[in-house]
Amino acid sequence: MSPSPFPDSPRWRSAFPYLANKGKDDRPLAFLDSAASAQKPRAVYDRMHAFALHEYANVHRGVYDLSEAATVAYEGARERAAAFLRAGGGRVAIFTRGTTEAVNLVAWSWGEVHLAAGDTILLTEMEHHSNMLPWRALAERKGAKVEYVPVTDNGAALDLAAAQALLAKKPKLFAFAHASNVLGFLTPAAELCALARSHGVTTFVDGAQSFGHLPVDIEALGCDFFACSAHKACGPTGVGLLVGTLALMENLPPWQHGGSMVEKVRFDAITYRPPPARFEAGTPPIVEAVGLGAALDFLDGVGLKAIEDHSVHLAELAAAGLRKIPGIRVIGPEAGGRQTGIVSFVSETVHAHDMAYYTNGKGVALRAGHHCAQPLMHRLGVPATTRASFYLYNTEEEVERLVQAVAGAVTFFQA
C-alpha cells in the first residue's frame, strides 16, 4: 500500500487545539469519530471570535457601515461555499441549520408542489434517518409510496442493476447519500443522476459525509439538490447548505415564513423574494456562516484530494488490521475497495457499545450504535456496529492503537 499523502503531519494536526489534550491513557486522544462531527481548526475559532467581537451586526437590514460590512462577510461566505462545491450552472446556495433542515426544506417545499397520491419516492437502504424520515413523512401526507434501492451483501456497494430498474419506473424523486455514513463507499452519484434525469426523475444528493472530505463538483454530479453541513467539514454547528437549481427553486413556495423573505406584505397579499432569500426566513446564522467560510479556506489550504487519499489510506489500514482479529467482521467493501475514511465492524463476542466503552479506556474514541441507520442495520442483520472514521488529522499510529484496543476488547470480554 502506498504511503499516506501526509502521514503524521504535525503541521495539520497541530492546527486542531483539542487533539493536544491527553486521553485516559495519558496519550493524545485518538479521535476517530469525525463522521459524527469533525474537530475544528484554530483558524475557524479565531475568525468567528474576531467577527463576533469586532464585526458583528445583523445582515440585509441596516444601511449603517457595520451592518453593510457584516452583509458582505455573510454573502461572501455563501459565494465561497458555492465555489467550493463548484455549484455553477444556474444554481443557488441557501443557508440552512444543517443537512437535516435542508432535507426537510425540500420535502415540504418541493414535495407540496410536485408529489401527488400514487407517486413514488425512491431512496436507498443505507440512508441516514435524516434522508429517510422527511421523505417518508411526505409520502404519508400525500398518499405516495417509498421504494428502496438495495445494498449488496455485507454492505459492499449499492445494487446498481436494481437502481436502474427502479428508476425506469419513473419515481418522482430519487434521494440518496453521496457517501454512506456506515459502509465506507461512495455512490456513483453522477451516473445515478444522469440515469434519473433520462427518466425525468428529480434528484436529491445527501452530501453530509462527502462535503469537506473529498472534492465535490455539483455541476459534474448533475443533481437537482445537494445538501451538506459545516460541522462535519471542520466548520461550526448550526449552519449548512442546500444547493438547488434556480429553475426549480424559483418556482417553489417557502417552507418557513418571517422576516427578510418577503418583498411586500399587505393585509390581503404577500410577495415573496426570489431565492435564496425566500428560503432564509428570520435572522440567519451569521457568525456560523463566516466560520464556514474560514473552514473552507483551511480545507483548500490542505487540499481536498490529499484529505481524501489520506483518509482512505488510513481506513484501508484499519480494515486490514481489524480483519486479522478473530471474531471481527468488517462491514462494507472488500480489501482495496474502500472509498471513504469510514470503517464499521462487528464482533462475534463483544457488543458494539461494550467495544466502544473499552476502547475509550484506551484513549480511542469510536462511535457505537445504529448510526441513525436502523433499517440498514436490519438489512445487514446486526443490532449495531462500531465505527471508526478518519480525517486529515488522524495518523497511522492511531490506526495501530485502534487495532490494539479492539483486539484487547475481544480478549477482555472472552476472559
Residues forming the active site: 372
- Between CA 110 and CA 248 the distance in angstroms is 8
CB 37 within 8 A of CB 232: yes
- Tell me which residue of 332, 315, 401 sits closest to 365, measured CA to CA: 401
Q: CA–CA separation, 316 vs 320, rounded Å?
A: 6
Strand order in the sheet with 367-369: 328-331, 342-347, 385-389, 367-369
Q: Is residue 172 within 8 Å of residue 201, measured between CB atoms?
A: yes
| b/e burial code for range 399-415 (CB count within 10 A of at least 16 → b) | bebbbebbbebbeeeee
Q: Could you give the CA distance from residue 14 to residue 286 in angstroms, rounded to a whole number?
A: 27
Residue 247 has which C-alpha cell?
A: 429553475
Contact 91, 84 (CB under 8 A): no
Q: Taking the C-alpha atoms of 5, 10, 11 and 13 in order, what is their torsion angle to the nearest 10 degrees?
A: 90
CB 346 within 8 A of CB 329: yes
CB 241 within 8 A of CB 81: yes
CA distances to 67, 74, 153, 338 from 332, rounded to whole Å, are 49, 40, 9, 8
